[in-house]
Amino acid sequence: MNKSFLKMCGIALAVIAAVAVMASCGGKNSDNRYTISGNVPANVTAEWIYLYDVSGAEPEPAIIDSARIENGKFCFKGVAGDTVVMAVVHPGSQNDYPALAWTVLIEKGDIVVDTASMCGTGTPLNDGFNDWMMQLQDIFMTAEGPDELKTFFDRHWQEHSSDFVGTYVLSFVAPMLEFSYVDSLASQIPAEMRGYAAFKPFFEQLEAMRKMQPGQMFTDVEIAEPDGNAVKLSDYVGKGEWVLVDFWASWCGPCRQATPALQAVVKKHKSLKAIGIAVSDKLEDTKKAVKDLGIKWIVLIDEKAVSAKTYGINAIPAMILFAPDGKIAARDFNVDTLDDLLDENSIK
């Protein structure tokens, strides 16, 4: 299985895994009132528990509410807004978020944090989100994960194609699916979902990728050489050579693991010009990684990831192959298929 796929799944599942037991605030809701109730694990000694907004409206998680933990139980009460808010429940100091956190979708009704579930349950969206994430957990644990993921959406997409659950889950797994498939599903999402701050990067990325598909001319971006001199992609692409651009970073484990295989392919195809673009990386870390890994090709610096955003890349490693005339020949392939791709294009 693709290591970056496993890493992504592991991070996501760790964040949303629920480890509390059922409790209830009691009473019934009317209008848009909600309750969120549960028990904290026995080893939690905190006196207070916090409800954080992680829906993307703010750069950092913002506290919505706090509640005292009494006899291991807690309860939040409030009024849901007109749009769904993704939140996490976190016991303990405000400063150590999210050492222990459980995901809920704030909507009207009685929401329960339960150890048997992966997120809040008890309301339509929370039940739907929990159901999907439980099924996706099983998919993530199999070697056929990426293939099974498409099968899952083929079967279940219409269940949540117009609500927060469908949009969120699709945005989360998008890097694991073919762009054309993701784009076809995203086109069915209603306009109101596009207004969520949490989904803005997803829809922006889709728009960028539509413009950066094979056959399209490259878009120029400004980057820098390790010495700080500004350069442009056009200084290397569209000059009559086949150019492979590898988007990577020193902190990216799968990027580093793929480097030896990439070096072997580049060495074999001598007419291919390889360029590395280090994204969201510190200059000194990039230089050290280049030396440690023995990278021989040009490595450019893009600390703010402008190039990656321009080309709709939100997960690395990622590679794009540019034809001699500057058009995109291929993208979203990996080093395991690169050799065959180059042979198909008669690149010696």
Please, which pLDDT band fits residue 42 given cuts at 50, 70 and 90? confident
Assign residue 89 the CATH number of its domain: 2.60.40
- Report the pLDDT value the prediction gives residue 315, as an integer from 0 to 100: 84
Average pLDDT of 283-307?
94
Calculate the CA dihedral of residues 160, 310, 7, 40 and round it to 10 degrees.
-60
Q: CATH number of the domain that 237 lies in?
A: 3.40.30.10
User: How far is 267 from 280, CA to CA, in rounded Å?
Assistant: 27
- Of 117, 139, 157, the one marking the end of a domain is 117
289 lies in a domain? yes
Mean pLDDT, the chain, whole residue set: 85
- Of 151, 180, 211, the one marking the end of a domain is 211
In a domain, 124, yes or no: no
Q: Which residue has the higher pLDDT, 287 or 16?
A: 287
Asked whether residue 3 is domain-assigned, the answer is no
In a domain, 1, yes or no: no
Which of 165, 191, 211 is at the close of a domain?
Answer: 211
**337 and 255 within one domain:** yes
Q: How confident is the model at residue 96 (pLDDT cuts 50, 70, 90)?
A: low
Domain assignment present for residue 10? The answer is: no
Confidence bin at 94 (pLDDT 50/70/90): low
Judge if 296 and 340 occupy the same domain: yes
Note whether 238 and 201 are same-domain residues: no
339 domain residue, yes or no: yes
Task: Answer whether residue 26 shows pLDDT above 60.
Answer: no
Give the structural domain span for 150. Answer: 130-211
- 69 and 136 assigned to the same domain: no
Q: For residue 7, is pLDDT > 60?
A: no
Sign of CA dihedral 156, 162, 167, 170: positive
Tokens at 227, concatenated: 């010495």
Contact 243, 275 (CB under 8 A): yes
Q: Are residues 199 and 265 in the same domain?
A: no
Residue 143 CA to residue 140 CA, distance in Å, equals 8
pTM: 0.71
Please name the helix (run of DSSP H) or strand (run of DSSP E) that holds residue 39, with its range, or none.
strand 33-39
Residues 79 and 137 in one domain: no
Query: Cα–Cα distances in Å, from 310 out to 33, 54, 74, 185?
Result: 42, 25, 45, 22
Q: How many CB atoms lie within 10 A of CB 220?
A: 14
With cut-offs at 50, 70 and 90, classify the pLDDT of residue 102.
Answer: confident
Average pLDDT score over residue span 244-259 = 95
Same domain, 322 and 243: yes
Instruction: Provide the pLDDT confidence category of residue 116 given band limits of 50, 70 and 90.
Output: low
Q: Based on the fold, state whether residues 203 and 263 are members of the same structural domain.
A: no
At 16 the pLDDT is 34
Does 13 reside within a domain?
no
Q: Output the pLDDT for position 255.
A: 94
Which among 143, 59, 134, 71 is positioned nearest to 103, based on CA atoms? 134
Closest CA to 107 of 76, 135, 84, 90: 84
Domain count along the chain: 3
In a domain, 9, yes or no: no
Residues 147 and 63 in one domain: no
pLDDT of residue 119: 86
Of residues 36 and 100, more confidently modeled: 36
First vs last C-alpha separation in the chain: 29
The CA distance from 123 to 110, in Å, is 7
Query: 315-346: string of b/e by CB count within 10 Å (b at 16+)?
Result: bbbbbbbbbbebebbbbbebbeebeebbeeee
Q: Residues 227, 340: one domain?
A: yes
Same domain, 236 and 255: yes
- 149 and 232 together in one domain: no
- Residue 334: the pLDDT is 85
